[in-house]
Structure formats: structure tokens, C-alpha cells
Structure 1
Amino acid sequence: MLNINKIHHVAIICSDYEVSKQFYTQIMGFTILAEYYRKERDSYKLDLAVNENYAIELFSFPFPPTRISRPEAAGLRHLAFEVNDIDTTLEWLNKNQISAEPVRIDQFTGKRFTFISDPDGLPIEFYEK
């Protein structure tokens, strides 16, 4: 059996690096740990932290192909982030002109959650603690 400790990071390829960088740092509030430009690939790599924990690698590549993310396409379904309060999260999103789906209740846990999309349409879930 493998001895996996935790998920180390999630890698995301974006279509517009500056737009996605602004979204993940200014809207999502992630902290930049490091930013690299790889000239040979004409590619940026941005390392982001969630609450001081390395979590996301944001990549740019010239002309990345689009990926189907909805409805229920095979592959990564969504990224989910725990929040203390859905209402406070929705207020922040609304203030920043980010539209969220109506709040739902998890039928198994009774917890509230909602979804938004990142600049490339990747579904992001906010799940109340």
C-alpha cells in the first residue's frame, strides 16, 4: 500500500496568465510563494499558498487547448475550498462581481456549499465548515 500523507498541490493551466493571477491572488486571496518565467517554454509558473500551505501551481502556455469542464465531463470535476461562513464568502464574491450558483445543502452532511468558476471556467466549490 502507498503511504500518501496528503495532497501536495493542484496544477492549473490558464488561458490568460494575468487575469488568472489576479483572480487567484486578489479574489481567492492566495499568497504568492514564487513566480517563474520559463523562456524555453514561453510559460509562467506561479506557486500559490492557501493559509501558508503550498497548494496551487498556476501555469501559462501559449495557446492551450480548451478543456470541457461541464456538464459532468470525465476528469477533474472541481476544486473545493473550506470556508467558515458561506454568507460572508458570498458577500465577498458579490463585492468583486463574481457570480455564484445558488447555495445548496449537502444531503449527507447538511453543510451549505456553492460554486463559482475561475476565469477559464474551472468549477470552484466553497464548502462551509
Structure 2
Amino acid sequence: MDVVALIGRILFVLLFLGSAFGHLTQADAMAGYASSRGVPQAKLAVLGSGVLMLIGALMVLLGIWLDLGALLLVIFLVPTALLMHPFWKETDAMAKQTEMISFQKDIALAGAALLILALYAGYGPGLGITITGPLF
């Protein structure tokens, strides 16, 4: 089961690593979109969220205070869902559906990250291959 948990962690963080890379290398373009969604100090928010995702994803991937890494991803995901995908504000049916899907994806990923946090904080190194034990 250790290998299965490791494979699950790898698959889970691939999305965040790719997104973090985009945030850090295409910050200006992403800041324009974030600004259009009403995010204050959009470029700083894009860069900060890119760093948050990168650190959280690497911690989960490598098993270094994996529970803290999962919490960092939750801290990224919930505000992103609320700020960037407010489907309830959309009037166009297609836009509303698109934003609802993105909102639900972010919330589901936050739930998965919370589950990872709880499992690793509760069972520690007995649940998969890690470099360190849990922080919490």
C-alpha cells in the first residue's frame, strides 16, 4: 500500500505543479485575468499563489511534512474557488456552467487535500513512503 499511496500523491500533485509553473512563468497574463475577476493586487496574488501551490505540491509529493503541504493546497484552493469561479454571479448559462464546474473542481480538490492532511496527520509515516513524519 505504500507504493499505492505514493502513486496517488504523484497523480494528485501533477495538476498543482503544472499550474504553479504557469503562475510563475505567465504571471502577467494570469494577473490580467485575475484582475478582471476583481482580485486585488492581481500580479502579487498570482505569484503568491504560484509559490503556495509549488511548495504545497512538493511537500505532498516528497512526503516532507506532507500534512502541512496539503493544508497549503487547501489555503490556495478555497479562496480560488470563491474569488475566481463565482458561478452564482454569472447570467449567461454557458459561463455559469463553466464556472460551476471549475468551482466544484476546486472544492473537491480541497476536500481531497483535507483528507490527505487528516490521514497523514493521523497515521503518519505508517501511510506511505515519506521523508518526514507529519507536522501536526
Query: TM above 0.5, one fold?
Result: no
TM-score of the superposition, structure 2-length normalised? 0.30
Which structure shows the higher helix fraction?
2
Q: Which has the higher contact order (CA 8 A, sep 6+)?
A: 2
Q: Report the TM-score when normalising by structure 1.
A: 0.31
